[in-house]
Amino acid sequence: MSGLDLSQFYETFFDEADELLAQMEQLLLELDAGQPDIEQLNAIFRAAHSIKGGAATFGCFTLLAETTHLLENLLDAIRRGEMALRTDMIDIFLETKDVLKSQLDAYRASEEPDAAAYERICEVLRQLALEQNGGQAAVAAAAPVAPSPAPVQAPAATAPAPAAAAAPMDANLPLRVRISRVSAKDAQSLLEEMGNLGQVLASDQLGGGLTVWLESTCSADDIEAVCCFIVDSDQISIGREAVPGEAHAVDDFAQAAAEFVAQAQAAPMSAPVAEAPVAAAAPAHEPAALAAAQSATTAEGGAPRAQRAAGGAPAADKESTSIRVGVEKVDQIINLVGELVITQAMLAQTASTLDPVLHDRLLNGMEQLERNARDLQEAVMSVRMMPMDYVFSRFPRLVRDLAGKMGKQIELQTYGRATELDKSLIERIIDPLTHLVRNSLDHGIETPEKRVAAGKDPVGQLVLSAQHSGGNIVIEVSDDGGGLNRERILKKAMQQGIAVSENSSDDEVWQLIFAPGFSTAEQITDISGRGVGMDVVRRNIQNMGGHVQLSSVPGNGTTTRIVLPLTLAILDGMSVRVGAETFILPLNHVTESLQPTNDQIYSVAGNERVMHVRGEYLPLVEMHRVFSVSGAQDDPTQAIAVIMQAEDKRFALLVDHLVGQHQVVVKNLESNYRKVPGVSAATILGDGSVALIIDVFAMARANREKWTPAEAVLN
């Protein structure tokens, strides 16, 4: 072991520990203190246990190992029913998780973790352990000293009666590590390693094997993981046995079961840590691990761990399932693939003039190229997209912590977790969204007493949702709290010298809270109220090219709506022709299209027109007028009216022809140019030319706000 450089495995350990901590947090949040689910408790325990095992194996992450060790002891006691779970314990465990995370980050950055935080959390955990000891003096001696045999013990507990009787005594017995087929030299170094792990009570070397009796707080898998640097895991068997000469009856069945489980657990434990030596052993070991896993599942009822054992062995063959790549590299690939698709379309156009009989093979090849290019484009585009879950998953913890701190009862619901958003946007949306959630918790939702007084459910609802809408992504944060207080906002605005009028519309009043330094919170808390929130939120969203809308009903809550444009999303579009120009309509806004007849069209106030469709009068927006296209169809009865839906507004858009439906890659116009009225973005068509994507919301307003050239031209 001394000759092996362990540092190359650090990254793997950090990544794994990160995942385990995240998993632990999620499980802790789901845990119901009154009726804890034994499966969940087991899973939490195993996560803590695996981190401790890993940290102890490397030997240089002492603080991390110590902290997890204390946490593990408590979790073990709880899951064995020796200690009742309380809500404050969950809080402490969550806090411990945070400390562990910061320790991990510190180790990752090759720094020493904050010792004060470590001391404090350890003190809290020890205090908890003491409480437990006070209540149950009998178990106290066994549990803190040897908490690790827990996984070994579990199957024994379900074993037949004699074994069950023997089990509690097991914990006090030393660990017996038996390693078969080792050379004398290896045996010597193994013995030294054992000495590092605990106190070697006795050892003997017989028939090419080594047996060590060890008094240690390390678990069986830790010992096995250490041994794996020298021998294969199938050579090792670990159990509990009295040192020869001491009179202790050990049940054979319990021992066999314990060895079995220890083997099964060895696979995942040792695989990431010591890839090289295990790689050879893993395939051979796999059937055994599987069999063990199956028996462990029935015995322990702890499916996740057992499944991990089965899955762990093949995973050892692979380095990792994901790679980190710079975003610019992905963007470059996306652009190149886009070019490829356009080139392919050009080739296809040229090839279509050829005689299909003479050029049969060429045309077949062209078809295949088209399919491949399209698949490639789809695959590449999906690389950048990430589900909103990435953002939403961090809120349950935040809400829980803040609600606890403020004495409020809040239930968080999330919708549209699978809604995909471009990676760059998803990372930038986290901060503004966190601000909004904090605001809702602090200012929005009232205390349970106030809620009851107002005749509402004492549990406040906070809803986070995300959906694609009209070529935009709409993210909403809504609460059922008190709503915005119009009077107070106006009063505050006047105090701060912001010009307002009593007659302002609600929307105008709500806009005031986006003013820098504006806060109506009666008292400043550490959660919010310093008035730096909303203007930052708005600025962040605007920098992303989006906007924020607020709606509020006094007594019924507030909804904040973030509308973000798509920068790099794919849009289902309908291409239409107006004159010689092609435009793209977002398909999700198109409800139907029809050819108007003369008796459907009525004129209003001279040059405005409405269209009568099935009892509904829809404003008629003529594309060629809005975009001043020459040579377009002037007679509505010869054109096509596309009925568009923009939120609650419907209107008829008059175009010359419908061309077809296709997925288009949305290209931002603003990156090299500027925002164009009536256009949300652009895309590149099959022939390499640029087509503009219509901004449906702007079109819906087109009849009310005319974009005169004088307004658009700035000089």
Partner 1 sequence: MAAKPQAQGARVEDMGREFLVFTLGEEEYGIDILKVQEIRGYDAATVTRIANVPPFIKGVTNLRGIIVPIVDLRIKFNLGKVEYNEQTVVIILNLDRRVVGIVVDGVSDVLMLGASQVRPAPEFGATLSTEYLTGLGTVDERMLILVDIEKLMTSDEMALMEKAAV
Catalog residues that contact partner 1 under the rule CB under 8 A. 334-336, 338-339, 342, 581, 626-629, 667-679, 682, 684, 688-692, 707-709, 712-715
Q: How many residues does the chain have?
A: 715
CB of 667 to partner 1, least distance (A): 5
In the chain, the amino acid numbered 256 is: A
Token pair for residue 685? 């068509």
CB of 609 to partner 1, least distance (A): 20
Q: With respect to partner 1, which residue has the nearer C-beta, 628 or 637?
A: 628
Q: What is the CA radius of gyration of the chain?
A: 34
Token pair for residue 119? 């001391």
Q: With respect to partner 1, which residue has the nearer C-beta, 511 or 668?
A: 668
Q: What is the distance between the terminal CA atoms of the chain, rounded to a whole angstrom?
A: 76
Give the residue among 588, 590, 565, 587 at the shortest CA–CA distance from 681: 565
CB of 329 to partner 1, least distance (A): 15
Spatial separation of the C-alpha atoms in residues 311 and 319, rounded to whole Å = 14
Helix (H) or strand (E) holding 590: strand 590-594
CB of 430 to partner 1, least distance (A): 24
Q: With respect to partner 1, which residue has the nearer C-beta, 169 or 676?
A: 676
Alpha carbon of 701 to those of 199, 445, 472, 506: distances in Å?
A: 81, 35, 17, 20
Q: With respect to partner 1, which residue has the nearer C-beta, 421 or 623?
A: 623
Contact 169, 95 (CB under 8 A): no
Spatial separation of the C-alpha atoms in residues 715 and 712, rounded to whole Å = 9
Could you give the 3-state DSSP secondary structure of residue 163?
A: helix
CB of 472 to partner 1, least distance (A): 18
Max intra-chain CA distance, the chain: 111
> How would you class 172 by CB atoms within 10 Å of its CB: exposed for 0-12, middle for 13-18, buried for 19 or more?
middle
CB of 543 to partner 1, least distance (A): 10
To which residue do tokens 């001279």 refer? 606
- If you count DSSP H runs as helices and E runs as strands, how many of each does the chain have, helices first? 26, 22
Give the residue among 295, 226, 206, 224 at the shortest CA–CA distance from 266: 224
CB of 369 to partner 1, least distance (A): 19
Q: With respect to partner 1, which residue has the nearer C-beta, 97 or 624?
A: 624
Q: With respect to partner 1, which residue has the nearer C-beta, 109 or 714?
A: 714
Q: With respect to partner 1, which residue has the nearer C-beta, 247 or 673?
A: 673
Alpha helices in 136-248 (DSSP H): 137-140, 142-145, 150-158, 161-170, 184-197, 220-227
In the chain, the amino acid numbered 428 is: R
Q: With respect to partner 1, which residue has the nearer C-beta, 134 or 709?
A: 709
Give the residue among 362, 367, 351, 444 at the shortest CA–CA distance from 399: 444
Q: With respect to partner 1, which residue has the nearer C-beta, 86 or 625?
A: 625
Q: With respect to partner 1, which residue has the nearer C-beta, 576 or 629?
A: 629
CB of 709 to partner 1, least distance (A): 5
CB of 325 to partner 1, least distance (A): 19
CB of 699 to partner 1, least distance (A): 12
Give the residue among 419, 365, 369 at the shortest CA–CA distance from 392: 419
